[in-house]
Structure 1
Amino acid sequence: MLQIPPATVASAVDDPTPVGIAGALSRLIAEGTVAPGERLPTVRDLASTLGVSPGTVSAAWQALAGAGRIVTRGRAGSYVADVGDTRLAPHTRRLAGHVPTTKLDLSRGTPDPDLLPPLMRAFEHAAPHAATASYHDEPVLPRLARLLQERWPTTGHRITVVDGALDAIDRTLQQVARFGDRVVVEQPSFPPLLDLAAHLRLEVLPVPVDREGIVPAALTQALSRSPRALLMQPRAHNPTGVSTSPERIAALATAIRRSPAGRRMIVIEDDHSGEIARGELTSLAALLPEQVVHVRSFSKSHGPDLRIAALGGPAELIQAVEARRTLGPWWTPRLIQHALAELLTDGEAVASVARARATYAGRQRRFAEALRRAGAGEPLPADGINAWVPVDDERAAILQLATDGVRVAAGSAFYRDDRTITVDGRDRIRVTVGAIPGDVEAVAAAIAVASRARP
């Protein structure tokens, strides 16, 4: 195992502070000067070379470990992390994993476990009804189908259930798009969507998102290239937290109707935050029901491990998805369907989700207010659990926060080309505000300081 000479790191250090040292090594890793698996100099050796205290280097190492750039193995030393986990697609890989040294992980985009409704009662009520009579029963329990239809943005859609929102999008794209087809995707966008498009060999046409949703002029331009599908998040957009306004939905529908290619296109709406979003859903399904496939996930509201989402759209398309599933999972387990039906109707569970929705809204409000008071750039108006925070330098901000034991997601992971493209020229980080369990103001203050950090 190669060991990096102290002089190699020291020569890259302009600022011998914990953040400066961490930034220098981070740049060496990004440039390929040092490679995954190589052993770092000892804390004492590098401190001696730089003429700083061992505590200064130790703090830099802790920051890098918190950012996932290095791994520490006790007396065996510290090593450059191998981020090439081939189990995960490239964009998704940058969001994965929890770093043990992180005190507060705000990088994952997952709900606060303490705000999820209790599942035991729902499964106890579901268990007596969960025996499967036949492989050829309807894939959706009639009771659950009725509950979903009551919550659906349009009438006339056929609704089925699948194993999470990404499964719904994947199965829909496999029915409507073929090798080399173009798909319109919001920019920034949820990294697994970018990886999914790449896996299906689809060409991504990015369209920017502003404080009201997709920019209509950009969509019109993308439609000139005859895309087969549009992937959009109408509410609590990940990563920005933006919800599409009614006026913007109307403008997007007009753009689609006016374009011959638009009228042939399928729109896939991902309402991933569902019942924890405080804003009302504005959906193209209400205006273009025959062109829209709507996805409603229950992971953030009721539990990621339920792995269940509703998928609704034109009957012929949904039936094609159901037919393909008969050659795989066939149906989503009826035990889980029964449990979800209980969660959607049980008074205690409904109240629990309502409390979560109010709690997340309160955290978002206090976070935005604290950022403003601290003089940081104001994030876009955010619903759900994430906020999209402007920073002077993405890498410097991440490392600065890591020294405080806070982990956030790099904004560049949410772009097709791993480049943060913004109108103001600043980088971005995604902060899962919904996962802040305690003092939101203190975390916001730390992020405000990090937003001004320089490499």
Structure 2
Amino acid sequence: MATQYVIQGTTAKGIAASVERGVTEGELAPGDALPPVRKLADDLGVSPGTVATAYKELRARGLVVTRGRGGTVVAEAPSVASRRPPRMPEGLTDLASGLPDPAFLPVLRPPAEVRPVYGSHRAAPRLAALEELTRAWFRRDGVPATRVTFAHGALDCVARLLSVELRPGDAVAVEDPGFHHLLDLVPALGLRMVPVAVDAEGIAPDALRAALRSGVRAVVFSPRAQCPTGASLTVARRDELGALFREFPEVLVIEDDYLAELDGPPAPTVGALGPARWAQVRTVSKRLGVDLRWAGLTGDAVTLARHDGRMLMTSGWVSHLLQETVVGLFSDPEVARLVERGEAAYAERRRALVDALGARGIRAVGSAGLNVWVPVRDESAVVNGLRTHGWWVAAGARFRIAAPPAVRITASLLAPEAAERLAADFAQVLGDAQATYGG
């Protein structure tokens, strides 16, 4: 523990608040050890039970973790702050953002005229036109969509689903490596993460079976272009997962199809196999605009009803101004053509980078999506080494729990002709790191 910070408080809530304040203000850093329960109790003049209760609350909220004989330490990514990347130094090429190329995003044109209405939209929260377009969007890929509803993005939707279904301390199976914001969200809700390995076909059945048997209450995974590896489900893998979920009908299955486009090949969905509790959420921010905070959601009747019930009590509905904007984009053939050009460009850029790295003996994966995932021995050495060559890539620590180290490269922003130069620099950095660190 940082010696300059003294934990204070005479109640469990006060002690927990003092620790949280230290983490928030940077006085307690990730990995810093908290005092043993009995020592802190003696220092504060309280019972050991009071300190134990405070530590239990902090663990439930994702601020600290207990490592057996290693004691209680501040979590690597405490839930008071997200896994935000370090600020990119000036003059570097940004290959860390995970964002689409603005050249393939349409100009957003909100409706020119929206007449005022009496009261609110709570009684009719969804535009009928967007409901129908959303239903067709899901059904095009074979996703059952008898009912649809809306949310303010994928994380907003997942947070609401988990909060109405689970209670603090419940376990959620997540992909490892996986979407870094989801890895922040789960502990912030007071839930426990159970990491599940990912292979070339998506979430791995054997690892998932172990997680289900351990008692997880929900599973969150991506059926296509998994972040950060780019893995997508095959039909065979989808069928394996479906068989597993049928053995555990009480588990809520959430598919985050964040990269579903307006056109393209279908993505196999476990929803087609009829799990008892299931939902799929789709967003448009990567394909139509990062400021479009809208998501479509389908699933079983109970899951959608619980989602909408909680939304009614909080934000109420998604802005009809936003819904009108999405309707216009979904209905515009020129936007569809622009999205198709983006899809083709992203595929070319991914292949160029994976091939260029592979030609130098560097294994990389990225069969879909915007990024390429490259396993390495030392993330910091690679990130800092590439920085000296003018490249800014993301350390894999933000995306993983127990998975091996790697770096993530945003290929969507890398022109094919630049892939060779990046690969050559990458190979040099790996050679320098081996000379420095050995092995």
TM-score, with structure 2 as normaliser: 0.76
Q: Which residue of 2 aligns with 1:4?
A: none
CA apart distance, 1:138: 2.0
SS at match of 1:310: strand
8 Å CA contact 1:392, 1:453 repeated in 2: no
Tell me, yes or no, if the aligned pair for 2:262 and 2:336 is still in contact at 8 Å: no
Q: What is the alpha-carbon distance in structure 2 between the residues aligned to residue 215 and residue 304 of structure 1?
A: 30
Structure 1 residue 158: deviation in Å?
Answer: 2.2
Q: Which residue of 2 aligns with 1:402?
A: 387
Q: 1:310, 1:87 → 2: CA distance?
A: 30
Partner of 1:442: 421
Instruction: Give the match for residue 271 of structure 2.
Output: 285
> Following superposition of structure 1 onto structure 2, how do residues 5-404 of structure 1 map, counting pairs within 5 Å?
89-90=80-81, 92-93=83-84, 95=85, 98-120=87-109, 123=110, 126-129=111-114, 131-132=116-117, 134-135=119-120, 136-152=122-138, 153-257=142-246, 259=247, 262-275=248-261, 279-377=265-363, 379-404=364-389
- Identical residues among aligned pairs (%): 34
CA RMSD of aligned residues (A): 2.5
How many angstroms apart in 2 are the aligned matches of 1:433 and 1:175?
37
* Structure 1 residues 175-227: Cα deviation after superposition (integer angstroms, max 9, x where no partner): 11111111111111111111111111111111100111111111111111221
Specify the SS of the correspondent of 2:261.
helix
- Cα displacement (A) at 1:250: 0.4
Higher mean C-alpha displacement, 98-107 vs 427-436: 98-107
**SS of corresponding position for 1:326:** helix
Letter matched to residue 445 of structure 1: A
Aligned to 1:411: 396
Opposite residue 211 of structure 1, the aligned amino acid is A
**Counterparts in 2 of 1:144 and 1:280: CA distance versus 1, 3 Å:** same
Q: In structure 2, do the counterparts of structure 1 residues 130 and 162 end up closer, same or farther at CA, with 3 Å as the change threshold?
A: farther
Q: CA separation in 1, counterparts of 2:310 and 2:177?
A: 31
Structure-2 change in CA distance of 1:431 and 1:100 (3 Å): same
Encode CA deviations 1:126-165: one digit per residue, 9 max, x unaligned: 2335644542342221001001101214335421111111
Counterparts of 2:115 and 2:431, CA distance in 1: 55
Instruction: Determine which structure has greater relative contact order: mean sequence separation of CA pairs < 8 Å that are 6+ residues apart, divided by chain length.
Output: 1
> Could you tell me which amino acid in structure 2 is paired with residue 105 of structure 1?
D
Relative to structure 1, the CA distance from residue 344 to residue 267 in structure 2 (aligned partners, 3 Å threshold; closer, same or farther) is same
* Segment drifting more, 168-177 vs 276-285: 276-285
Instruction: Mark the runs of 5 or more structure 1 residues left unpaired by the alignment.
Output: 1-28, 33-83
Alpha-carbon separation, structure 1, partners of 2:31 and 2:91: 25
Change (3 A) 1:30 1:371: farther
Please state how far the C-alpha of 1:359 moved relative to its aligned partner: 0.7
CA deviation after TM superposition for structure 1 residue 325, in Å: 1.9
Q: How far apart in 1 are the matches of 2:344 and 2:230?
A: 15
Residue ranges of structure 2 left out of the alignment (5+ in a row): 1-28, 33-74
SS of residue matched to 2:297 = strand
Aligned residue pairs total 358
Shift of 1:439: 2.3
User: Deviation per CA, 1:31-79, whole angstroms, max 9, x where unpaired?
Assistant: 99xxxxxxxxxxxxxxxxxxxxxxxxxxxxxxxxxxxxxxxxxxxxxxx
CA shift digits 1:212-243 (9 cap, x unpaired): 11111111111112211001011100010111
2:98 is paired with a residue whose SS is: coil
